[in-house]
Amino acid sequence: MSVHAAPAPPLDAPAHRSARLEAQIARDPGAYRILTGDRPTGPLHIGHLLGTLENRVRLQELGVELLVLVADYQVLTDRASARRLPEDVLGQVADYAAAGIDPERATIFAHSQVEAVGQLMVPFLSLVSVAEVARNPTVKEEVTASGGAATSALMLTYPVHQAADILAFRANLVPVGRDQLPHLELTRTIARRFTERYGTLFPEPEALLSAAPRLLGLDGARKMGKSAGNAIALRGSADETARLIRRAKTDAERRITFEPERRPEVSNLVLLAALCRDQAPEAVAQEVGDGGASALKALVTEAVNARLAPLRARRAELVRDPAHLRAVLLEGNERARARAADTLVAVRRLMHTTY
């Protein structure tokens, strides 16, 4: 990503570690195996593309092995009905493939289809305390939000399930957003304790933070998300995209500038266009100048639709052949099952549960 003009913020420890990791990956891509994924709660959007999907494709092109999971079981933690899952899961597979995750090289699968992931939960749950899972920020938020009583026991074990996702494939690299760092810390803890108690099998996976700056939704207030109604879906049409951007919030100042603190809504639109055009946000703001919100929106619409056009064309092609799309997932599931089963055999051997 070439957003150069803004002064770089000072790097904190996880960002430092990620920068060092990037250098190591470039030197020896074959030494890394990535496991990452998304919960299928609806169409992936441009925030996913710019924040993580393009990063995955970049790593795939560098020659890193890539496993991408559709976290369909995680949907159970925050949604009562799973009726829409088949549609959402296949839609997500289409989004992945259209974005450039190549099913020939990468393994795209649904974690509910890999029995060994569930099996690993048993020893892994024995390696963490109730207090440790309860202080996971995501879990804590859920418990607080629902007053505790409505929180399922599955919610409490969710970070451990995610550890099983990662360790089942002995992945050593997990590209994630900052909100996922506590999950990764717990995964490392589980790997370390397993090693201490039973022997060497699991690497301690590293988090890899994306360098992309944080994009907000079209309201300029919250994270981009489907439920917030502020997201540009990858699968949307050019017209839908134009309509969404036309409705985006701006402010009353005519001159367009990039000032994220003082003008979050306008600056977020400027950033969106800048990311889509691989330009600095300041250059985009200057180009619009005194054109006001309507000129800004026209430019953003053009930039987003141009960036998404090839992906959307590929996606349209893919969904024309649902049988192929399904075959991609089934092959991925099969490959993932074989890999995770190997891990389970090794786990049983180390735990003396082989008879």
**Cβ at position 149, least distance to ligand TRP in Å:** 24
Least distance between ligand TRP and beta carbon 187 (Å): 8
- When the beta carbons of 35 and 156 are compared against ligand TRP, the nearer one is 35
Nearer to ligand TRP, 37 or 103 (CB): 37
Q: How far is the CB of 69 from ligand TRP (least distance, A)?
A: 6
Minimum CB distance to ligand TRP smaller for 162 or for 343: 162
Closest chain position to ligand TRP (CB): 71
Closest CA to 316 of 234, 249, 247: 234
Tell me, what amino acid is at 78? D
Work out how close the CB of 35 gets to ligand TRP at its nearest, in angstroms, rounded to a whole number.
6
DSSP designation for 215? P
Chain centroid to Cα 195, Å, comes to 28
Nearer to ligand TRP, 36 or 333 (CB): 36
CB of 105 to ligand TRP, least distance (A): 19
**Residues near ligand TRP (CB under 6 A):** 35-39, 69, 71, 74, 162, 165-166, 174, 176
Query: Shortest distance, CB of residue 341 to ligand TRP, whole angstroms?
Result: 18
The nearer residue to ligand TRP, 224 or 273, going by C-beta atoms, is 224
Q: Which residues contact 194 (CB under 8 A, 6 or more apart)?
A: 123, 124, 127, 167, 201, 202
Alpha helices in the chain (DSSP H): 13-27, 46-48, 54-62, 75-78, 85-99, 115-125, 130-134, 137-146, 153-167, 181-198, 238-246, 264-277, 281-288, 292-319, 322-350
Q: Cβ(341)–Cβ(116) under 8 Å?
A: yes
Residue closer to ligand TRP (CB basis): 56 or 277: 56
89/43 Cα distance (integer angstroms): 9
Strand order through the sheet with 173-176: 107-110, 65-70, 33-38, 173-176, 206-209
